Structure 1
């Protein structure tokens, strides 16, 4: 049986605030295959590791820089220099309107001393740990909202690819998978920039599943929301949409998101979720906030 790929989603984000260096170091000790980086550019064109173009749901920016709020009441990474961003404290994800923590049983909001960091800093951490621990754990960067960056005169794809190349990530054999939701931009990465990295097309909406054939003209893998794989239960057994089989026929790997032990929805247990998606639906791997739990199940299996 082929090896299932475990991707540490935003690091070990089930245990420490997402996309912090501490969450990445903890993830590395769990030995996943890849650690994920979401990327947004700062005002001075530094790729910052953060899930959104916004700052106000994972940092104390509203307290630190209240004057930087835009008319829509949000605070944007792109309005801050790297130096200013490093003055912020990162916390467990919360609703900026209510202040309530999104995952109540995770690391307590407002506790600890966590900061934002750049893609370069994270690569150096992961590559350094690979050396000191004798590992070869890969990176899995995602450029966020490239169209927003273009509208603000910034080319996040080019900047990110240049950095990846500097650190030795150039081809499919370099333990780097590069992902994006924007199909036009990911196609640009392959065709305009001639990148030879392993490219993964992320999808979110049902109509996107009809474009699989087109995705194969530039992508190597598919990253669907896991619910796009589930159909219905018949006599207590899950039936699946044709998505995985069709993707595999076209030569695309499938890495669904997100396996969360504290947000099971359709499943009775995290183990059931892993069993159903990784083995019964036969996906090739998955993004998880709990890489240790997924790896423990795979080892046992």
Structure 2
């Protein structure tokens, strides 16, 4: 099968087997954003196998629920920008013309083909130079299936690569009568992820939900508060009462650029004073924006701004950059 061959390609990228201690003790961690999504369609098992082979420290899983309460690894609550759902289930869209994961059973979701992200209105591929849209044979999968893949690869390769799940849209799920958070926490516990020592970082944009995870649900996992809006950067002291780190948009760290050199906001230093780690998103070699090249982006944020890790679609490039800095 094509999917199996792609899986093997990822595994063949392993050049050595770093010890568990070396991976665990990295001072700056590399998080494979939706897997090795710069090379293979995001959140596919093939992209996760490749990220594992590239020696990322953690691999990310965005999680939403199916109709029958299975946590599905997919970036959004929608299906129509990464699958062929509009072709296979044309009558199942809601009034807003979107197709929702929560309206399909796990068995139905398994029938869909996953592809490179595209605009559902125009059909245009979002990142034109990535894996070609509509090619290959990729499928959706459950959180449990991904954990078993990562844990299995850890065992067979001698690595200790962690998971970095995100609770997506908890308020939406609650309105639909479902408790995504409790289901995810149970899956994590069933697979041995219960404390900060268990190589699992749990993240969420919803501050009330993440605080609830710590204070009401009594989770002892490493928690990261994702932040998106400028006003949220002023709430660090509150975040520090329940979270272990923050995940800001990287532009919230940058101030301005003069004479080809960046200056920074106080976000990283303020977070560090409160004992919070800082893991900004997202490092993309094909979406540089204010940077002249990817090396400048990594140098500016990882070294000059002194963040503690980074989400990247290109984990191999970040791993190699940090290796050269040792």
TM range (shorter): over 0.9
Cross-structure match for 1:28? 52
Corresponding residue number in structure 2 for 1:117? 141
Partner of 2:177: 153
Corresponding residue number in structure 1 for 2:101: 77
Q: For structure 2, which runs of at least 5 residues remain unmatched after alignment?
A: 1-24
Of 144, 150, 159, the match for 1:126 = 150
Residues 131, 182 of structure 1: alpha-carbon distance in 2 compared, 3 angstrom cutoff: same
In the other structure, the counterpart of 1:98 is: 122
CA distance in 2, matches of 1:119, 1:85: 13
| Cα offsets for 1:32-88 (capped at 9, x unmatched) | 100000000000000000000000000000000001011100000000000000000
Poorly superposed stretches of 4+, deviation over 4 Å: none
Distance in structure 2 (CA, Å) of the matches to 1:150 and 1:239 = 41
Deviations 1:215-266 (A, max 9, x none): 0110000000000000001332110011000000000000000000000001
Residues in 2 aligned to 1:237 and 1:257: alpha-carbon distance in whole angstroms = 20
Q: Which of residues 179, 185, 191 is equivalent to 2:203?
A: 179
The one of 293, 296, 301 equivalent to 2:317 is 293
TM-score, structure 1 as length reference: 0.99
Q: How does 1:188-203 map to 2 (within 5 A)?
A: 188-203=212-227
CA shift, 1:2, in A, is 6.8
The question of 1:266 aligning with 2:266 is answered no
Compute the displacement of 1:300 (Å): 1.2
* Mapped partners of 2:289, 2:260: distance in 1: 15
Q: Deviations over 1:4-30 (max 9, x none)?
A: 100000000000000000000011000
Is residue 221 from structure 1 mapped to residue 221 from structure 2 by the alignment?
no
Matches of 2:167 and 2:123, distance apart in 1: 27
Counting matched residue pairs gives 301
2:165 alignment counterpart: 141
Q: Which runs of 5+ in 1 are unaligned?
A: none
1:230 to 251, 254, 257: 254
SS in 2 for 1:139: strand
Please give the root-mean-square deviation of Cα atoms over the aligned residues, in Å. Answer: 0.9
Structure 1 residue 197: Cα displacement: 0.1
Task: Trace 1:236-251 onto structure 2 (pairs within 5 A).
Answer: 236-251=260-275
From 65, 90, 101, the counterpart of 2:89: 65
